[in-house]
Amino acid sequence: MLEKLRLEAQQRWQERTSHNQAVIYIGTASCGRAAGALETLQAIRETLQDLGKEARIIEVGCIGPCYLEPLMDIALPGLARVSYANVTPAKARQILAACLTTGDLLPGKAAGHFGDDSFTRTSGIQPFFDLPMLKPQQRIILQKCGIIDPEDFDSALSTGAYKGLERAFTLGPEGIILEMQQAGLRGRGGAGFPTFRKWQAARTATGKPKYVVCNADEGDPGAFMNRALLEGDPHAVLEGMLIGGYAIGAREGIVYMRAEYPLAVKRMCKAIGQAYNSGLLGCNICNSGFDFDIRVQEGAGAFVCGEETALIASLEGLRGMPRPRPPYPTDRGYKGKPTLINNTESFGTVPAVLREGGEWFRQFGTASNPGTKTFSLVGKTRYTGLIEIPLGMTLRQVVEEIGGGTRFPFKAIQTGGPLGGCLPADRLDTPITYETMRELGSIMGSGGLIVMDESTCNVDMARYFVGFACSESCGNCTPCRVGTRILKDTLEKIVSGEGEPEDLEVMQRAAETMNNASLCGLGQAASNPVISSLKYFRQEYEEHIHQKFCRSAVCTELFEYTILPERCTGCGACVKVCPETAIHGERKQAHTLDTTRCVKCNACVRVCPVHAIVGAPVGTQAGTTRLAEAAI
């Protein structure tokens, strides 16, 4: 049945994308939309009408390098698909006019192509996946994201969707779990628990019915790995859930998604409808005797509901609060029945494991950390976006090779999101594995990587993340409820210039109590940003407390801006943007800054072309101390 479906889908998809006419691909995932992709899409439609040309427009998901959005690809009849970056409406009109009227691909404006080597030689356009950010990566989970139309079932099926399910039916439940054991896949939600063990526990648990839950409650600030997968290839997640349901003997699956992901919700719901219409959900799937239903339930956005027992409470209509374990959800979960809960990325990886085999999957990563992992790479790197790398790649490779390094000197990288640790430059050669991250006082988490340069204040960064954890704590257990408040209040005291030496000991004791006594992972890890920054950047805390100085010129009570006369060229750029007319000086002469009027809005720092405006301790004359060059 599946093979017949696939052949029919391939035929229909080829007819829609045949090169008898131009095909235009536009990335309209959330990252593309934030960069203006919908305006570019409208310009594409208007330009086609103005030119009197016909072309098929296909909306795709995020392909990874968000810094290039909006991305627009064009495939002319008989030619490879060529990608163009940062395509504004005006740029779209220019490219379309050249490509559709004269056949000129504008090599100087192209970001890359998706053809073969012969096309590279004749066109002068490099392969898209040879871009510096993409070349070191290994795409398994994201293989189709940005390539297929996530809302077109034929697009997914013709590119291999549900081949893993097809093999799963031949292996049987025990064979599936054995394949997962051979692959060595570990939970991609952060804990790194072996997936096959969880599946085996759910399969052997007594009690029916059994449930499968996809945890798509991605709540880390700056993290968008799950969202991108759900928006770019929702059928991969559905297929993983189907395979999991068949393996453990479940009949119902639930995708628990954040309501703040409207596009992901829309595309997942559409994919579920397509699967039902094609007989891949419902009764007797593919004549296998296996019945399985999937529905979407939207969460209200509580970060703690990423913890599986809090998620179950939310599914049951209760307040999302963790409960002690055991019993584990595999024994007593949703509605008190055995429940298999995996992260979105875990389910999205399963089809590739079943399709290609466990041994194939193990060729990537390390012996104890097989496979690949997706990360959102954000912060001060030159190239930001969604990446997928083999586990075991070093932090340095991620920051310098994939991220392109930082504009100003690198300072730290936060791994694992708001509950992770802040690691310094001398830890950049550490391989990224579950164990090494924990050893350094951080975590893998679901995959957030925040890169910081010397313009970042680590004390302020710790304050931000602890404040987030404090706001998101469910308040169920005292160590977390009180501990996060102690950390937050103490850090706010330090950044405001009122810190005292004993504050560091107060935070250390509070953190230890939280780690040892909190009920769930949120409370146990919420102090990581503080503990790791105290370990690696203690000098900054001491400067804030003893010298009342923020070297990064972030904590506004602890510095004042000054203009270095030896650098200032008198260009006047700072004068034009100062809202308080605090800067004065003649043209081509060194300017001065009136600190009594300065509101530290940072506008002058951003526009100064020679980096002459820096932060200095309050009351310090310029040049008498090592100034905070990071302020630039």
Interatomic CA distance for residues 71 and 54, integer angstroms: 20
What per-residue confidence (pLDDT) applies to 40?
Answer: 98
Whether 336 and 206 map to the same domain: the answer is: yes
What's the pLDDT band for 620 if we cut at 50, 70, 90? low
Q: Per the domain annotation, does 156 fall within a domain?
A: no
Cis peptide before 173 (omega within 30 of 0): no
Whether 408 and 313 map to the same domain: the answer is: no
Whether 93 and 181 map to the same domain: the answer is: no
Q: What tens digit of pLDDT does each residue of 513-541 get?
A: 999 999 998 999 999 999 999 999 999 99
First-to-last alpha carbon distance for the chain, in angstroms, is 62
Q: Residue 426 pLDDT > 50, yes or no?
A: yes
C-alpha radius of gyration, the chain, whole number:
27
Q: Residue 624 pLDDT > 70, yes or no?
A: no
What's the pLDDT band for 625 if we cut at 50, 70, 90? very low
Q: What tens digit of pLDDT does each residue of 287-333 get?
A: 999 999 999 999 988 899 999 999 999 999 999 999 998 999 999 99
Whether 328 and 179 map to the same domain: the answer is: yes
Task: State the average pLDDT for the chain.
Answer: 93
Q: Per the domain annotation, does 141 fall within a domain?
A: no
Domain ranges, residue 487: 458-547
Query: Token digits for 325?
Result: 């374990």
Whether 621 and 524 map to the same domain: the answer is: no
Whether 74 and 97 map to the same domain: the answer is: yes
What's the pLDDT band for 619 if we cut at 50, 70, 90? low
What per-residue confidence (pLDDT) applies to 10?
Answer: 86
Alpha helices for 192-324 (secondary structure H): 195-204, 225-232, 234-248, 262-277, 308-315
3-state helix, strand, coil in the chain (%, to 5): 45, 15, 40
Q: Per the domain annotation, does 11 fall within a domain?
A: no
Q: What tens digit of pLDDT does each residue of 453-467 get?
A: 988 999 999 999 999
- CATH number of the CATH domain containing 420: 3.10.20.600
What per-residue confidence (pLDDT) applies to 626?
Answer: 40
- CATH number of the CATH domain containing 97: 3.40.30.10
Final residue in a domain of this structure, among 361, 396, 412:
361
Helix crossing, 234-248 with 225-232: angle to 10°? 100
Smallest CA-to-CA distance from 512 within 543, 486, 473, 494 is with 486
Q: What tens digit of pLDDT does each residue of 602-612 get?
A: 899 989 999 89
In the chain, what percentage of residues exceed pLDDT 90? 84
- CATH number of the CATH domain containing 612: 3.30.70.20
In sequence order, the 6+-apart residues with CB closer than 8 A to the CB of 193 are 186, 187
Smallest CA-to-CA distance from 482 within 443, 521, 442, 527 is with 527
Query: Token digits for 546?
Result: 């003893």
